Amino acid sequence: MNIIGKFFISTITTSLAVLLAAYILPGVEVNDPMTAIVVAILLGLLNTFVKPILVLLTIPITIVTLGLFLLVINVLIIMWVDDIVAGFHLSGWLIALAFSFIVSIIGSVIERVIGRPKEEAD
């Protein structure tokens, strides 16, 4: 499967996870499925391009906190998406942390259920 297909599947999976997390968590609001798709795309882009830079810049504090600072980075990225996307709202830091866990777990379960396409041999 090519990179566009993988991106599409990942975006749809994350969108479903965002919608389910909004349904489960009382402090998360997602106006409609299109908003969930925008949130999924933006989360994917920020996690791909911005998160590695933040992780690299915060290595000393991450080491001192035994890796727990990575949770802070996840929350910061999710709160940033909250600021950017109209129709997506989180009520606070703890809700953003819970949202991060729930989206990750639900996304993993969905990918496990639908199955990941196997890499094609060269």
**Phi and psi, residue 54, nearest 5°:** -65, -40
For residue 6, the model assigns a pLDDT of: 84
Q: 13 lies in which domain range?
A: 3-114
SS3 label, residue 46: helix
DSSP letter string, 47-78: HHHTHHHHHHHTHHHHHHTTTTHHHHHHHHHH
- Residue 79 located in a structural domain: yes
Helices (H) and strands (E) in the chain, counts: 6, 2
For residue 97, the model assigns a pLDDT of: 96
Q: Which residues of the chain have pLDDT under 70?
A: 116-122
- Rounded to an integer, what distance in angstroms lies between the CA atom of residue 82 and that of residue 72? 15
- Residue 99 located in a structural domain: yes
- Residue 119 located in a structural domain: no
Q: Domains in the chain: how many in total?
A: 1
For residue 3, the model assigns a pLDDT of: 84
- Residue 100 located in a structural domain: yes
- Residue 97 located in a structural domain: yes
For residue 23, the model assigns a pLDDT of: 96
- Residue 77 located in a structural domain: yes
For residue 14, the model assigns a pLDDT of: 94
For residue 117, the model assigns a pLDDT of: 56
For residue 121, the model assigns a pLDDT of: 47
Q: Is-contact 24 118, C-beta < 8 A? A: no
- Residue 121 located in a structural domain: no
- Residue 122 located in a structural domain: no
Instruction: Convert the pLDDT of each residue in 8-21 to its tens digit.
Output: 888 999 999 999 99
